[in-house]
Structure 1
């Protein structure tokens, strides 16, 4: 076992992602003479949707990675499992013989494992961070099950593996939380070292901004809890189409959204079409929502623009924001404020209409935009 413990602490082990780590580890355990057949662990996360990541390795099969939502721990199946006792602190170790006169089939998982050929099952506590309890288990299909010496060896591996998985959990948490709060592209930039104030680059991109209308009325006529529920639905309706069209949401500003569609390979036409498709999908989703929820209608205005923006870190020395700034962004928000005046849900600048294909738009009027010199022609997509 010493070689396995040394390997778990080595740089070569630390370079592996959790899935490959588990596969390699269990192969080494088999080579050391312990006939493990199945392995399970659950790794806590810091994610708004996912409570734990479970990894299930079975000899000769593809390793499964299962994401368990927060409400998954409320299900009866979980409460009837030995994992529940381990996580709640009632036990640190449970062993269940699966065959023979001493068989213990008091847990549904044990019945399932025996039906699949398992002969012995052991589960240990695994501690993450500040005493967050989770579990690691092994099952064998060897006749007679595990020996006591093999159980002791697995326990020694478990103690080192727990530390290794804790590091993996922290790494996963940093990556996932940054992606949730900053978006996939911005989070990668921050993790790669672009976190100093004033750093950034100028990119050419299509811009989409959306703003919820009549929010004051919504606030007056609904409880705070209901307002949050409606806002969550509104952001979900807008976020999914943006992500489907490869856009990146940079900000939720109160009840407004700012997203960009970078012009990759110097192709602004493609970026503008993606932004336009996203806006149309959003409008369709909102229309469907309103038909299904006549008691709580959602109304929004959207504006599309295209141009150079600075993409990077701005803010105070101890409080930064990764966002886009520039005249093109300002114009987009100014144009969006005209949606109600023109009676349109989607408005665009002339620059955007030109890049996306002007034949697909109608001219709706010219307006002075606050803080921007000269009248600007405003367009709306044809249906």
Structure 2
């Protein structure tokens, strides 16, 4: 590769690799500029480790003439024989380059390169990409050029690593912030926080369907089982709900012990309250089935569980609430308070799903009128509805 063609690419990266579009578009632009400058590159991979409870890392693979492929890898890969014999394992763990020329017998120690060899690849090099925090990420460079990469090609690859690492780290930090916010406050709230809504008092009024649920008998469960077992049970129990909530357009805002608060935004301009509430009810029924099917082994027996969920629809105040520099992005308002009161009524009635009169009017279903109930903090008694299909269960 001609070094004179490399400097404009270095300058472009140092300036932030300003490319309209996604991270994949930026990677494609880097590779195409390098090829145009004379680097005989046929395939490029970049592997970024992530700060995520389930995902070990993300990868982007560029092939000449094709779109960039993106993927994620979970932590289970670390235990696989493929990873143990991968060049990238050495890069991640030792932070050194690993080269595999196809005409070098030593390259046979990496089964991954057998596939490369079958595709006509002549040379492969994996290069560490250290971030400023000390973490090591990786890139891989592949060519079909007869004789493999030249010394000048390798030198050019090494020269580009520092500015490429800085740009990649900036993008990675932004994505890490997004993922952490999604994980801890939800994607809708996370987007608002990243958009600058970080001051106390930043809030909006939103119409939404409200979900408030609670695990029955949790106090007694916590008293008789080890804390570690209780945490594991809660994780499985919340899995039964979160999957259904997110799958039907909801956002989990908060876990409160064994309680869960979620919202399903309603577009007031479209007027889709009926459609949204129908999805909420479907999520509640799916969650009910999942919780009923949950059987957790404790010693020689299996623990079974029941929960209650109250559904309401109304206006909420959605935004930053807290004291000092410790804020919470959540929702408050009479509608949330009513949902919390209804959930307690569900427990008294032995019902899994109860809804407010407003929710029942918005969602056409075979409802059973359960009567009017005085609600603390509300001047009028509230009418409560349950599913006609549901048989009440009196908790012992």
Distance 1:250 1:114 in 2: 50
| Matched position secondary structure for 2:330 | strand
Q: TM-score, normalised by structure 2?
A: 0.91
Offset, 1:374? 2.9
Offset, 1:61? 2.8
Q: What corresponds to 1:168 in structure 2?
A: 171
| Matched position secondary structure for 2:304 | coil
Q: What corresponds to 1:94 in structure 2?
A: 98
Aligned ranges for residues 100-249 of structure 1 at < 5 Å? 104-249=107-252
- Answer whether contact 2:296 2:303 (CA < 8 A) is retained: no
Q: What corresponds to 2:393 in structure 1?
A: none
Q: What corresponds to 2:30 in structure 1?
A: 25
The partner residue of 1:36 within 35, 41, 48 is: 41
Distance 1:292 1:254 in 2: 21
Aligned ranges for residues 268-307 of structure 1 at < 5 Å? 268-290=273-295, 295-307=302-314
User: Are residue 372 (structure 1) and residue 375 (structure 2) matched?
Assistant: no
Distance 1:92 1:31 in 2: 28
Offset, 1:223? 2.3
| Matched position secondary structure for 2:62 | strand
Q: TM-score, normalised by structure 1?
A: 0.94
Q: What corresponds to 1:341 in structure 2?
A: 348
Long gaps (5+) in structure 1? none
| Matched position secondary structure for 1:105 | helix
Structure 1, 170-179 or 108-117: larger mean CA deviation: 108-117
Q: What corresponds to 1:321 in structure 2?
A: 328
- Answer whether contact 1:97 1:121 (CA < 8 A) is retained: yes
The superposition leaves residues 36-79 of structure 1 with CA deviations (integer Å, 9 ceiling, x where unpaired) of 11111211211111111111112223322121112322222112
- Answer whether contact 2:233 2:296 (CA < 8 A) is retained: no
Q: CA RMSD in A?
A: 1.9
| Matched position secondary structure for 1:266 | coil
The superposition leaves residues 3-33 of structure 1 with CA deviations (integer Å, 9 ceiling, x where unpaired) of 1111112245365532112111111111111
Change (3 A) 1:96 1:12: closer
| Matched position secondary structure for 1:373 | coil
Offset, 1:268? 2.3
- Answer whether contact 1:211 1:301 (CA < 8 A) is retained: yes
- Answer whether contact 2:321 2:330 (CA < 8 A) is retained: yes
Distance 2:348 2:100 in 1: 71
Aligned ranges for residues 6-25 of structure 1 at < 5 Å? 6-13=11-18, 17-25=22-30
Distance 1:48 1:337 in 2: 33
Distance 2:169 2:20 in 1: 14
| Matched position secondary structure for 2:303 | coil
Offset, 1:365? 2.2
Offset, 1:287? 2.1
- Answer whether contact 1:8 1:14 (CA < 8 A) is retained: no
Offset, 1:80? 0.9
| Matched position secondary structure for 1:111 | helix
| Matched position secondary structure for 1:295 | strand
| Matched position secondary structure for 1:369 | coil
Offset, 1:108? 1.4
Distance 2:79 2:306 in 1: 36
Offset, 1:225? 2.1
The superposition leaves residues 231-284 of structure 1 with CA deviations (integer Å, 9 ceiling, x where unpaired) of 111111111111111111111111111111122123322222222121111112
| Matched position secondary structure for 2:201 | coil
| Matched position secondary structure for 1:113 | helix
Aligned ranges for residues 26-105 of structure 1 at < 5 Å? 26-89=31-94, 92-99=96-103, 104-105=107-108
